[in-house]
Chains A and B, each alone.
Chain A
Amino acid sequence: MSKPNYLSFVQPDFTPFEIDCGRIRGYQYAGRLEVELAAGRLTREQTLEMYEDMLIVREVEDMIVRLRSGAYDPLPGYNYRGPTHVSIGQEGTAVGACTALHPADRITSTHRGHGDSLAKGCAAIRRMSEAELRSRVPGSTAGGAALLEEALEDHVFRTIAELFGKDDGYCRGRGGGMHIADFRIGHLGANAIVGGGVPIATGAAMALRYQRSPNVVCCFAGDGAYANGVVLESLNFAAQAQWTNHLAGDRPFGLPIIFLIQNNLYAMTGRAVDEILGVRHLARRGAGFADNNLHAEVVNGMDALAVFDAVRRAADLCRAGLGPVLLDAVTYRYYGHSLGDPRVEYRSKEEEAAWRAVDPIDRFRAALLAAGAAAESDLAAIEQRVRDRNTRAALRAADAPDPKPEEVLKFMYTTSRCDAVPEPHRNVRVLDAEAAKVKRDKDGRITYRDAIKEGMVEEMLRDHRVIFYGEDVAEYGNAFKLTKGMLEMFGRERVFNTPISEACICGTAVGAAMAGLRPIVELMYMDFALMASDQISNQAAKWHYMSGGQTTLPLVIRASVGGGKGYGGQHSQTLESVFAHIPGLYVVYPATAADAKGLIKAAVRDDNPVMYVESQLLYSEKGVVPEGDHLVPIGVADIKRPGRDLTFVGWGPAILDALKAAEILAKDGIEAEVVDIRSLVPLDEETILRSVAKTGRCVVVSQAVQIGSFTAEIAARIAEKAFDELDAPVVRVGAKDGIAPQSHILEAAFLPNAQDMVAAARRIL
């Protein structure tokens, strides 16, 4: 065993002291347009582009408002069905921020994300080379300014087409305005779960840091989101000392992420000031997470220049490894939460009028004229161009083909897999090759626990994009000593501890996967997966589909089941059925050491998100496990024992009980077949049905409680597809419909065992 690579040594020191939280400043930007122009921080063209981009945003959202009341003249009577969370009033924030970003910088956005999406696209497109432009409008024969114009119009068109649910939309009509994404320009998705995108942004920033990329992530989220647990967890996750202190080895580098609060003063209707928050300025949150207050500032979000300035400086900090940065951009939405919100219940007309008086577009227009950057006629021409472009795009979008109903499930799962690692990722640095080495006994056997580690280690050796993190997985080698030696072998860059923050562990994995890594993350107990259920179910599972196949989510969530050791109700649950019910995830659960290794390797190489469930009861079970590349394909069941009189089908530890039950039945001359499905999703129905066709009798087994268990899904499919093969009803054996008790007497009564399976078999023989 190698030496621990870091030991803590904190002395008791109770000397009285005071914390000085330092200062968080607001509205310090004193710049004016002519100053920015003179300083060369912006060119005249850029300022006109900013003006145009703000108009593009407003035009699209104004169209939504009008469509809703039948007042959009180009499309009379068009039935617009989608959400109406318009951001009119907030354009200065979206455009100011996106103008300050590099085209390859990433953003995440929110349910009120039309502005962010349009602005990021416009800003990126305006900086594209001719070749890049051409790839966005492949049919075009134009060049130069005309080509740029076509790409811009295409951008507006694909945005509106997505709002209209069309196949030409950015997400092929699968996402809509609340999930719009354009991964080609670094837009990792708007998110209809308030705060849901924040850990994703954090994970993407973590990936950029790992890849030593010069890029940053700008994470847009509302004031309402900054009360949500996962958002606060993300601030903490991003601000961890280990990114920047001695633990970071030769490259201390803070996460390159700008948390940009679009503080429009209201959550849905809940007031940020005086009602649902305890701080007057959200920027103060920065003080809770880092000694540098996350460089927090309050910014005038109605002033595109102020936002541009703040984001440019923040991005510079991030690129210098000094991130993360927290910006609290104060802005205002003129409309309600959605168009169904009359607003009068919670705010006054006078308040609205005061904010309209500082409209970001009007003010910017006046500044352009005052600085002599444009004449009235130039601006009128821009305004006309925006309106015409939008009209053309809207008409085309309304006419565009709908997605085909028979393709409703297209983009649910990808068939892609990493069968060959691209060259740059094969280069892996190993610190101590022996540290995580697994030793076989004289019969070539290793434990299930070591089989999982061996699989992970082999995949990390194979592909530099594979990283591994979770709670206490580093020096400690995880709560079950399963990952012992992995830190020493690969270093903290690739194996690290996380805060106790399951939602962030899973959410950052989503972001990291979107940004090109193939993370494996660990949940110490499967019960804790419920803490992360949004990130697993709404994010990991859904983004391939919701993005219309733009992104894949090659990540593995390992969840350890603690049932059977007297840990009680919150550490013993077998929850894979819950996740099998969420389309978009693969769910696997090996029962033997060989399958444990083969499946973890297959899971890492698969481009779909995989829930990899493992049982602590099985950790010490030994089996012969092939050395080297041993893969068990996902979605292929295994006949663990052949038989002809009865089929036991199931997964996980119940398979070992089923094998014992088969042994007992064999004494009476009854030959039971044991089918280990290994993957719940996708399910190898064929093997199950073939076995049932042979035997005519089936007992479905697992350690899950019976109610709503995936065993019922299997039983139902047999009844549906193999009814005529049945000589008896399909029966199930699982845990009792209760809560795992602590008492071992009670837990033995709670969990199923081999005798229960024998009894169930005899009932139908």
Chain B
Amino acid sequence: MPHAVAMPKPGQFTEECTILKWHKREGDPVAKGDILFEIETDKANMEVESFYEGTLLKIVVSEGGTVPVQATVAWIGQPGEAIPAAPPPPLAPPAAPIPPPPAAPAPAGPVVPAAPPMPAPAPVAPALAPAASAPATTAAPARLRISPRARRRAREAVIDPAPILGSGPGGRILERDVMAYLAAQGYDRLRISPAAKDLARREGVDILRLRGSGEAGRILIEDVRRAIAERPRPMSRMRQVIAQRLTQSFTTTPHFFVTVSADLTDLLKHRRRLKELGEPYTVTDFIAMAVVLALREFPDFNARTDGRQVWTFSKVHLGLAVSLDSGLVVPVIRNADDLSLRELHDTAAALVEKARAGKLTPDEMTGGTFTISNMGMLDVENFTAIINPGEGAILAVASTQETPVARGGTVEVRSMMKMTLSADHRLVDGAAAARFINAIRKRLEDPAVWRAWA
């Protein structure tokens, strides 16, 4: 019996991957540990090694194909061995993407009512439960059933045959259907310049969808150019994942926002002095430290919920949003609550560098419990962030600005920084949020606190 090679699950939240490149071809011998293929996950590219020895009998998913994790992508066995006709059932129900959080305290208090027996949600990342994204494959749209002759007619007419209803066997679009469609669409009355038609043909623009800007509605080359420029482009795989996750989070999590201004005048002076001494700390390091300490004080913000149960994390895994040209990644500092400022700094710096180089492993990008998004460098007065799926809150940090501030009856110019907390209203209320964000602010404003850090 040949072995099925499954699409691996490189990250705990990864639902599907794309095969970028096969390193073996059908018929090639394969040794354990040989690189079989390369995949693109939602976050990174990686090489996949073989667990089996034998011959690559069949490649089921070819380059460019996207399939859910654990789907069979190939078969390895002895030459001549028969390959099962239907893919075997998954060996086990998809393993829980996240193990139940370590030491998640059994939710005390209101127990989920035993009846009605709603299917108990699996302890998975609520925002991205596989069920939510039914057939997750971003498979190409179903092949258009059209005869070659009809396709050629459509090509000659420079139209997209997709909307045409086919009258042939199995709904195949035939030449007569194209002709009928053209007649119904008033194709004969269409006026178009030869150059415009030529360009449209080359670029695959459906001229029935164009509005002519020429005399009597004649379609001109500019009209085609405009259509080309406005044509939808496919999103990059990374942006698609971002879109999917943020949409899910923003539409299923009731966000609320609390903003404070922190006075960083003293902290900035302190940091400058440290810098002169050769210490590398950034403002973000201090903010991270303040956040970690505040989370210890307010564990409700280091938690998540699915609306039925609450998981409170015993450790702080701090996500740092990093903006790249290609999109956003959030590397995670593990056990941030165990780290000194120095360690925080070093870990963060290493992760950011890896992120910029595109070298983060899937595990380095998953499992966060709270995230900081810092746009301080981007000269913004304030902004709000969307909570990362699987977390309960996020802190949006804006730029520090010289601001006249009334202080002890006089107006002083101070370095003020706004921070906005987005929190899951199912978990916490406004008062708690106010206390939490002010706990952060206080730590940033109190020299006694941060002098102890560095």
B223 within 8 Å of A (CB atoms): no
Bitwise, A709-750 to B at CB < 8 A (1) or not (0) is 000000000000001111110000000000000000000000
Cβ-closest chain A residue relative to B174:
A727
Q: How far is the CB of A131 from chain B (nearest CB, A)?
A: 64
User: Contact at A724–B152, with CB atoms within 8 Å?
Assistant: yes
Contacts of B152 in A (CB 8 A): 724-725
Residues of B within 8 A of A728 (CB): 147, 168, 174
Q: What are 17 A-B pairs with beta-carbon distances under 8 A?
A: A696-B147, A696-B149, A696-B175, A723-B148, A724-B148, A724-B149, A724-B152, A725-B149, A725-B152, A726-B147, A726-B148, A726-B149, A727-B147, A727-B150, A727-B174, A727-B175, A728-B168
A363 and B313 alpha carbons, distance in the complex (Å): 110
In angstroms, how far is the closest chain B Cβ from the Cβ of A582?
A: 32
Per the bound structure, the CA–CA distance linking A725 and B153 in Å amounts to 9
- What CA separation (Å) do A726 and B148 show in the bound complex? 5
Question: Within 8 Å CB of B148, what residues of A?
Answer: 723-727
CB of B345 closer than 8 Å to a CB of A: no
Distance (whole angstroms) from the CB of B30 to the closest CB of chain A: 36
Q: Which residue of B is nearest A723, CB measured?
A: B148
Q: Complex: how many Å from CA A763 to CA B169?
A: 8
Complex: A665 Cα to B148 Cα, angstroms: 24
CA distance A727 to B177 in the complex (A): 11
Residues on A with C-beta less than 8 A from B150 are 727
Residues of chain A contacted by B43 (CB below 8 angstroms): none
Q: B175: which A residues are within 8 A, CB to CB?
A: 696, 727
Report chain A residues within 8 Å CB of B169.
763
In the complex, A165→B151 CA distance in Å? 50
A239 to B168, CA, bound (A): 67
A725 to B147, CA, bound (A): 9
- Complex: how many Å from CA A726 to CA B147? 7
Point out the residues of chain B lying under 8 angstroms from A725, CB to CB: 148-149, 152
Give chain B's interface secondary structure class.
helix
CB contacts (< 8 Å) of A723 on chain B: these are 148
| 0/1 string, B128-150, CB within 8 A of A gives 1 | 00000000000000000001111
Cα A724 to Cα B151 with chains together (Å): 8
Closest 5 CB pairs of A and B: A727-B149, A724-B152, A727-B147, A696-B149, A726-B148
User: Which residues of B in the span 148-181 have a Cβ within 8 Å of any Cβ on A?
Assistant: 148-152, 168-169, 174-175
Nearest CB of chain A from residue B111's CB, rounded to whole Å = 64
User: Given A725-B148, A727-B147, A727-B150, list of 17 further CB < 8 A pairs?
Assistant: A696-B147, A696-B149, A696-B175, A723-B148, A724-B148, A724-B149, A724-B152, A725-B149, A726-B147, A726-B148, A726-B149, A727-B148, A727-B168, A727-B174, A728-B147, A728-B168, A763-B169
**Cβ-closest chain B residue relative to A695:** B149
Shortest Cβ gap from A325 to chain B (Å)? 59
In whole angstroms, how far apart are the Cα atoms of A763 and B148 in the complex? Answer: 17
Expressed in whole angstroms, the Cα–Cα distance for A763 and B149 within the complex equals: 17
Measured CB to CB, the closest approach of chain A to B27, in angstroms, equals: 26
Docked pose: A727 CA to B179 CA in angstroms: 13
Docked pose: A723 CA to B150 CA in angstroms: 11
The minimal Cβ–Cβ distance linking B178 to chain A, given in whole angstroms, is: 10
Complex-state Cα separation, A725 to B175, whole angstroms: 10
Most chain A CB atoms below 10 A, which of B148, B151, B152, B169? B148
Q: Which of A725, A727, A728 has the most CB of B within 10 A?
A: A727
Docked CA distance A724–B149 (Å):
5
**A724-B156 Cα distance, complex, nearest whole Å:** 11
Give the complex CA separation of A371 and B148 in angstroms: 86
In chain A, what residue has the closest Cβ to B178?
A727
- A216 and B375 CA atoms in complex are apart in Å by 106
How distant is A671 from chain B, measured CB to nearest CB, in Å?
A: 15
CA A727 to CA B149, docked complex, whole Å:
5
User: How far is B167's CA from A727's CA once the two chains are assembled, in angstroms?
Assistant: 12
Pick from B147, B151, B168, B174 the residue with the most CB of A within 10 Å. B147
Q: Which residues of A contact B168 (CB under 8 A)?
A: 727-728
| Chain A nearest CB, measured from B159 CB (Å) | 16
In this complex, what residue of B is CB-closest to A729? B147
Assembly CA distance A724 to B150 (angstroms): 8
Give A272 Cβ to nearest chain B Cβ, in Å: 45
**Which residues of A lie under 8 Å from residue B151 when comparing CB positions?**
724
Nearest chain A residue, comparing its CB with the CB of B152: A724
Provide the residues of chain A in CB contact with B147, threshold 8 Å. 696, 726-728
Q: Which residues of B contact A724 (CB under 8 A)?
A: 148-149, 151-152
B245-278 contact mask (Cβ, 8 Å, vs A): 1 or 0: 0000000000000000000000000000000000
Residues of B within 8 A of A726 (CB): 147-149
A763 to B170, CA, bound (A): 12
Q: Across the two chains, which residue of chain A brings its CB closest to B151? A: A724
In angstroms, Cα B172 to Cα A231, docked, is 60
CB distance from B326 to the nearest CB of A (A): 40
Residue of B nearest to A763 (CB): B169
Give A401 Cβ to nearest chain B Cβ, in Å: 39
Query: Which of chain B's residues 167-203 have a Cβ closer than 8 Å to chain A?
Result: 168-169, 174-175
**How close is A691's CB to chain B, nearest CB, in angstroms?**
14
- The docked-state distance in angstroms from the alpha carbon of A726 to that of B174 is 9
Residue of A nearest to B147 (CB): A727
Shortest distance in angstroms between B145's beta carbon and chain A's nearest beta carbon? Answer: 12
Q: How far is the CA of A763 from the CA of B168 in the complex (A)?
A: 10
Complex CA distance for A658 and B149, rounded to whole angstroms:
24
Which residue on chain B has the smallest CB distance to residue A692? B149
Give, as a whole number of angstroms, the nearest-CB distance from B364 to chain A.
50
A763: B residues at CB distance < 8 A = 169
In the bound assembly, the distance between CA atoms of A560 and B150 in angstroms comes to: 43
A501-551: which have CB < 8 Å to B? none
| Smallest CB separation, B187 vs chain A (Å) | 19
Closest to B150 in A: A727
Q: Which residue of B lies closest to A724 (CB)?
A: B152
The answer for the CA separation of A422 and B150 in the assembled complex, in Å, is: 56
Q: Bound state CA distance, A723 and B148, in angstroms?
A: 6
Q: Once bound together, how far apart are the Cα atoms of A363 and B169, in whole Å?
A: 85
Query: Which residues of chain B are near A696, meaning CB under 8 Å?
Result: 147, 149, 175
Indicate with 1 or 0, residue by residue over B223-240, a CB within 8 angstroms of chain A CB atoms: 000000000000000000
Shortest CB distance A137–B (Å) = 55
For A723, A724, A763, the residue with the greatest tally of chain B CB atoms inside 10 Å of its CB is A724
Interface residues of A in 218-267 (CB under 8 A from B): none
Q: Tell me, in angstroms, the Cα distance from A696 to B148 when the chains sit together.
A: 9
CA distance A723 to B155 in the complex (A): 14
A541 to B150, CA, bound (A): 43
Chain A residues with Cβ below 8 Å from B174 are: 727-728
In the complex, per-residue mask of B32-65: 1 if CB is within 8 Å of any chain A CB, else 0: 0000000000000000000000000000000000
Interface residues of A in 73-104 (CB under 8 A from B): none
Give Cα A566 to B168, complex, Å: 40
Query: Nearest-CB distance from A18 to chain B (Å)?
Result: 66
Task: Give Cα distance in the complex from A727 to B176, angstroms.
Answer: 9
A727 to B168, CA, bound (A): 9
In this complex, what residue of A is CB-closest to B176?
A727
- Identity of the chain A residue whose Cβ is nearest the Cβ of B173 in the assembled complex: A727
A667-704: which have CB < 8 Å to B? 696
CB under 8 Å from chain B, chain A span 384-399: none
A265 and B169 CA atoms in complex are apart in Å by 69
Shortest CB–CB separation between residue B300 and chain A, in angstroms?
66
Q: How far is the CB of A762 from chain B (nearest CB, A)?
A: 11
Residue of A nearest to B177 (CB): A727
Tell me the bound Cα distance from A649 to B428 in angstroms: 79
CB distance from B409 to the nearest CB of A (A): 87
> Which chain B residues numbered 204 to 219 have a C-beta less than 8 Å away from chain A?
none
Closest to B168 in A: A728
CA gap between A385 and B138 in the complex, in Å = 82
Q: Tell me, rounded to whole Å, the shortest Cβ–Cβ distance linking A764 to chain B.
A: 8
Q: How far is the CA of A724 from the CA of B152 in the complex (A)?
A: 6
- Shortest A350–chain B CB gap in Å is 50
- What residue in chain A is nearest B146 (Cβ atoms)? A727
Determine the residue in chain B with the shortest Cβ distance to A722: B148
Instruction: Give Cα A49 to B152, complex, Å.
Output: 74
B296: min CB distance to chain A, Å? 70
